[in-house]
Amino acid sequence: MANFKIGVKSDKDFYYKWLCALSGFMHLTKKELLILCEFLCIYMDTKDRDLFKTSNRQEVRNRLGITTHNINNYINALKNKRAIIIGEDSSSITKTLIPNINGEKKIDIVIKLRYEGS
């Protein structure tokens, strides 16, 4: 088993590196990662059931300096890539992208690959 240790400087840096570790499986762009990270920070602070509501979108727009039109396009792209779920009563980040933190900020990632060739 290979072990890698990555140093982090803040909660936001921790969440960004967490998402980067998983992004290859979802084919997320750098901008999508940045936007998803901002929403993840909001979620981890608030546990908001409607994460992609207007006030949270505005906060992310202001932090990243992007337009309303652009954030809506990125949110649609994240929805199409199944990184986020937007329903009638709630909206959230896909559960597999939310780190399960128990006490210390440390996450073990186990990747199992199964060869399904002939």
Give the CATH number for residue 91: 1.10.10
Please tell me the pTM assigned to this model.
0.84
In degrees, rounded to 5, the angle at the alpha carbon of residue 110 between the alpha carbons of residues 5 and 52 is: 90
Task: Please report whether residue 24 resides in a domain.
Answer: yes
105 pLDDT more than 90: no
pLDDT band at 88 (very low <50, low <70, confident <90, very high): confident
Say what the pLDDT of residue 31 is: 96
Q: Which residue range(s) make up the domain with 53?
A: 11-97
Q: Give backbone dihedrals phi and psi of 93, rounded to 5 degrees, phi first.
A: -80, 145
Task: Please report whether residue 4 resides in a domain.
Answer: no
Unique residue bearing structure tokens 């649609």: 76
pLDDT band at 62 (very low <50, low <70, confident <90, very high): very high
Say what the pLDDT of residue 2 is: 65
The domain tally of the chain equals 1
Task: Please report whether residue 2 resides in a domain.
Answer: no
Would you say 43 and 92 are in contact if contact means Cβ atoms under 8 Å apart?
yes
Burial per residue of 4-37, b for 16 or more beta-carbon CB atoms within 10 angstroms, e otherwise: eeeeeeeeeebbbebbeebbeebebeeebbbbbb
For 26-30, 60-64, 114-118, which range has the lowest pLDDT when averaged over its residues? Answer: 114-118
Task: Please report whether residue 73 resides in a domain.
Answer: yes
